[in-house]
Structure 1
Amino acid sequence: MPFPSIRLAGLILATALGLPALAATETPAPAQAQTRDAVAAYEAGHFDMALKGFAEAAQKGNRLAQFNYAMMLLRGEGTPAKPQEALVWLRRAADNQMTHAQFTLGDLHERGGLVPKSLEEANRWYERAAKGGHTQAQMALATNYFTGRGVPLDYGQAFAWYTKAAKGGDGSAQYIVASYYERGYPGIVERDVEQAKIWYARAAAHGDPGALAKLRSLLEESLRAKSQM
């Protein structure tokens, strides 16, 4: 069956220096130069050369190469598609603490098809990636806690993970955190209009017109309140 490209398209173009969402504790990556050359070959359209380079670097333990090799096998780039072999290398990259591979496994389990659909398994992978600082995983986990998908409904956990994603620069998370502060949730967060303004402003800086409208509304509300004092 065709592999779903949503969320995964273009990830192989990550630089050989590493993805921004890798685990916090880093050691020099094995086969770094070989992986960098394979990325350059891929970007130049030399898929056969890229596949060979990624395969060799993956065998040496480079997690970016493991992930990119898995993606090429999955998509059938430079080779006939080999989804089961791709899953083996994707899992190796995930076990090698590559947070984007962990997030991708979560996404696959949430969608089903290539692997058995399991929200519980998806959330386990999302949590591993989220703890490593992967903002998409933090958002996915937060949303699942907010809706109770594969985990117990928990607005507190949702807020905690939305906040981490917001601090990581995710505009949608920033809007959601702002709305938490604007309304206040007993036992989770006190109403704090000033914090709401800060987070709406950050979301607005990402080009969110709804956040900008909310920010203007709160600023006007504050000005009215001051004028009546």
Structure 2
Amino acid sequence: MPPLPLDALREARAEDLAAAFAGPPEEAARWIDAAARYGIVEAQLLYGQILLDGRGVPQDPAAARGWFRVAAEAGNAAARNMLGRCHEMGWGGVADEAAALACYQAAAKAGHDWAQYNLAGMLWRGAGMAADRRAALAWYRRAADQGHAKSLNILGRFLEEGWEAPPDPVAAAALYRRAAEGGDFRGQFNLATLLAAAGQTEAALEWFRRAATGSPARFRNGMAERLSGRPEPEYRALAREIAAGR
């Protein structure tokens, strides 16, 4: 698909821009840079992510933070969330939990699911403020209501463990399944664990494999260690597969 003409960019959505600028990363980055400088807010958000990731351009977290700020000040909630991530993680500048919290709060109140998830995490940990697990649960619920996979998984943990809510294992299992089907590797692992406990070995193995495929090395290593300690030979064999990197 050729790049959109500049006079069409003002009405473009994020997915339109991503499709229009698909292709060689260097060429796409040039067009998105031009659109961002032209004042297209969605392009500013997208270019910030490109700079943060170093796709088609040298990685530049400081410039990425600047573009996220520009788009956030134009009212883009996703950019406000990413600016919060920059503040929280110290990408492109000094880490500032108070600034991160303010960004997440603004974007979360605007309905952005990732900001709701990030805000809930800060409330849970007490990062930049006193911990407030009841408020964290409320924000995880709001993100989960939008189908946010990671929030669905964490909400499942709340209900499985009885954190700030009565234990509800049936509801927890349903949430883990939704998170797993949404692609969250932790949800896939938690669902697999429940299936294994219920004796549904084949289904459990399938979800354990999916979790291993989509998770970082540290999580995979932990999976392999836990599975290797189970008595069933099928799970020990899977542990060896994961450890071998197959």
TM-score range normalised by the length of the shorter chain: 0.5 to 0.7
User: What residue in structure 2 maps to residue 112 of structure 1?
Assistant: 126
Deviation of residue 73 (structure 1)?
A: 2.9
Determine the C-alpha separation between the residues in 1 that align with 2:207 and 2:169. Answer: 22
Inter-CA distance 76–183: structure 2 relative to 1 (3 Å threshold): closer
User: What residue in structure 2 maps to residue 163 of structure 1?
Assistant: 177
User: What residue in structure 1 maps to residue 150 of structure 2?
Assistant: 136
1:216 aligns with 2:221: no
Determine the C-alpha separation between the residues in 2 that align with 1:95 and 1:155. Answer: 30
User: What residue in structure 2 maps to residue 68 of structure 1?
Assistant: 82
1:31 aligns with 2:46: no
Q: Is the CA contact 2:88–2:95 (under 8 Å) kept in the aligned structure 1? A: yes
The percent identity for this pair of structures is: 24
Query: What SS does structure 2 have at the residue aligned with 1:64?
Result: helix
* Mapping for residues 44-193 of structure 1, pairs under 5 Å: 44-181=58-195, 183-184=197-198, 193=200
Inter-CA distance 45–178: structure 2 relative to 1 (3 Å threshold): closer
Number of residue pairs matched by the alignment: 182
Please, which of 193, 209, 212 is the counterpart of residue 204 of structure 1? Answer: 209
Deviation of residue 214 (structure 1)?
A: 5.2
Determine the C-alpha separation between the residues in 2 that align with 1:58 and 1:64. Answer: 8
Unmatched segments (≥5 aa) in structure 1:
1-15, 18-29, 185-191, 218-229
Inter-CA distance 46–201: structure 2 relative to 1 (3 Å threshold): closer
Determine the C-alpha separation between the residues in 2 that align with 1:79 and 1:206. Answer: 33
Query: What SS does structure 1 have at the residue aligned with 2:142?
Result: helix
CA shift digits 1:120-154 (9 cap, x unpaired): 11111111122222222122111121111121122
Determine the C-alpha separation between the residues in 1 that align with 2:136 and 2:129. Answer: 11
Inter-CA distance 175–46: structure 2 relative to 1 (3 Å threshold): closer
Q: Is the CA contact 1:54–1:69 (under 8 Å) kept in the aligned structure 2? A: yes
Deviation of residue 95 (structure 1)?
A: 2.3
CA shift digits 1:164-209 (9 cap, x unpaired): 112223344334434544555xxxxxxx74xx52242232244355
Alpha-carbon RMSD across the aligned residues, in angstroms, is 3.1
Q: Of Structure 1 and Structure 2, which has the larger fraction of its residues in helix?
A: 2
Determine the C-alpha separation between the residues in 2 that align with 1:62 and 1:68. Answer: 10
Deviates more, 1:113-122 or 1:66-75: 66-75
Determine the C-alpha separation between the residues in 2 that align with 1:145 and 1:47. Answer: 38
Inter-CA distance 180–93: structure 2 relative to 1 (3 Å threshold): same
Normalised to the residue count of structure 1, the TM-score between the two structures is 0.66
Determine the C-alpha separation between the residues in 1 that align with 2:88 and 2:188. Answer: 34
Q: Is the CA contact 2:78–2:112 (under 8 Å) kept in the aligned structure 1? A: yes
Inter-CA distance 85–183: structure 2 relative to 1 (3 Å threshold): closer
CA shift digits 1:68-92 (9 cap, x unpaired): 2122233444444443333222112
Q: Is the CA contact 1:201–1:215 (under 8 Å) kept in the aligned structure 2? A: no
Unmatched segments (≥5 aa) in structure 2:
1-13, 16-39, 213-222, 236-246
